[in-house]
Chain A
């Protein structure tokens, strides 16, 4: 699909003062739950791309100058209602989109996104947010050149999370939605809901699903091969 596209485009809503056709760089997104190996893969891709001589920029969730601290604080106390939280995250995303992603693409960089609008949308929808509303909010996003979704079974995710932190994250367990008072149970249910939402989005947005249950090296090799072919497409 990326081979046919010339220039970039927005999903639906054009941002003021941005001509997407002038964005020469590549936007590559990795999606996946915590423990899917996402961050490790991004780190390796980053080094690989720089070694090849590509300028890279990393973006992710909750990294904006504008609201990242406030989001952290608010999350500690779990005091945000759902629409407020959605919009807070959307603000964080928009700030990075306009101040980091778009300028980097304009300058011809490869932007590696450690998650993008899909995680944000899935979280909202799983929490009962209106699908059309959420889609419209994020329709300001630039359509990426590729989206890789690292799919890892909930069982594997639990093991990897325990290995890393010895504790399950409150939000990644969806404890705020009351799926179960038992955290393990809640984690499994929440991750299954998220995966179901990603499956639904996969058809709509054309994700490339990567089997994340394999070794780090096997996943890295697959990603490199796929990204290599994207980089050679002239836009």
Chain B
């Protein structure tokens, strides 16, 4: 029912005209993106800007279903995708969208591209997944923290953490060993991210640079793009 090219069209049309601004960070686990968006948030707070932070998979409403599904390994590729889309929609409709309309800077640790990469790797139809999220606006800036796969894997796996079933991508049946599976799964996600760099206009950041160097570059990129003083709290 969905025509070829619809997905691309959905995404292109979704730039917004709200008074707020949306900045998203994407990248593999271990790419350092959460550190960077935290530091960006601190910098904005110090300037008394109206800023709000939101992260993937955090809607209280949907948490219970997600937790249950993951724990009992009840999820298929399709329901995994839908549960996360529901979680995203809840945060989007109740927080992100109202805040953008109210003139906030919204910082998102992972956004729709995380879903695109993961769900497509899990075998969902790419056009279907993109349509699921077509209600969401495209960020004003999306940073992709690009860390070579081995480095990201080492950062995550060096402590031999206990990998959860879906986190390791064990549902894909790529390998029996959770660590082998995680490596293969992350490798495929990394490839999906790379494919989106041009089409989604990611700003690629070198995740190998020192933290403070990366942060300086992030701030330098944001400053001319967003009129920061306009987002200051008034009446103080």
B62 contacts A70, C-beta separation under 8 Å: yes
Stretch at the interface among A10-18, A151-159, A192-200: A10-18
The answer to the question of B79 belonging to the interface, with a C-beta cut-off of 8 Å to chain A, is: yes
A67-92: contact bitstring with B at CB < 8 Å (1 yes, 0 no)? Answer: 10010001000011111101110110
B65 contacts A87, C-beta separation under 8 Å: no
Which of the four size classes fits the interface of chain A? 35 or more
B89 contacts A84, C-beta separation under 8 Å: yes
The answer to the question of A133 belonging to the interface, with a C-beta cut-off of 8 Å to chain B, is: yes
Assembled-state Cα–Cα distance A88/B61 (Å) = 11
Assembled-state Cα–Cα distance A40/B129 (Å) = 37
Chain B residues proximal to chain A, CB less than 8 Å: 1-2, 6, 61-62, 64-65, 68-69, 74-79, 82-83, 85-86, 89-90, 92-94, 122-125, 127-128, 131-132, 134-135
The answer to the question of A114 belonging to the interface, with a C-beta cut-off of 8 Å to chain B, is: no
| Neighbouring B residues of A137 by C-beta, 8 Å | 131-132
Given contacts A91-B65, A94-B82, contact A16 B2 (CB under 8 A): no
Given contacts A16-B77, A16-B123, A65-B74, contact A83 B93 (CB under 8 A): yes
| Neighbouring A residues of B125 by C-beta, 8 Å | 13-14
A53-70: contact bitstring with B at CB < 8 Å (1 yes, 0 no)? Answer: 000000000000111001
Assembled-state Cα–Cα distance A65/B79 (Å) = 12
The answer to the question of A213 belonging to the interface, with a C-beta cut-off of 8 Å to chain B, is: no
Assembled-state Cα–Cα distance A135/B65 (Å) = 24
B90 contacts A80, C-beta separation under 8 Å: yes
Query: Among A84, A87, A88, A139, which residue has its beta carbon within 8 angstroms of that of B128?
Result: A139
Given contacts A17-B123, A74-B61, contact A95 B79 (CB under 8 A): yes
| Neighbouring B residues of A30 by C-beta, 8 Å | none
Complex: chain A residue closest to B10, CB-CB = A133
A16 contacts B85, C-beta separation under 8 Å: no
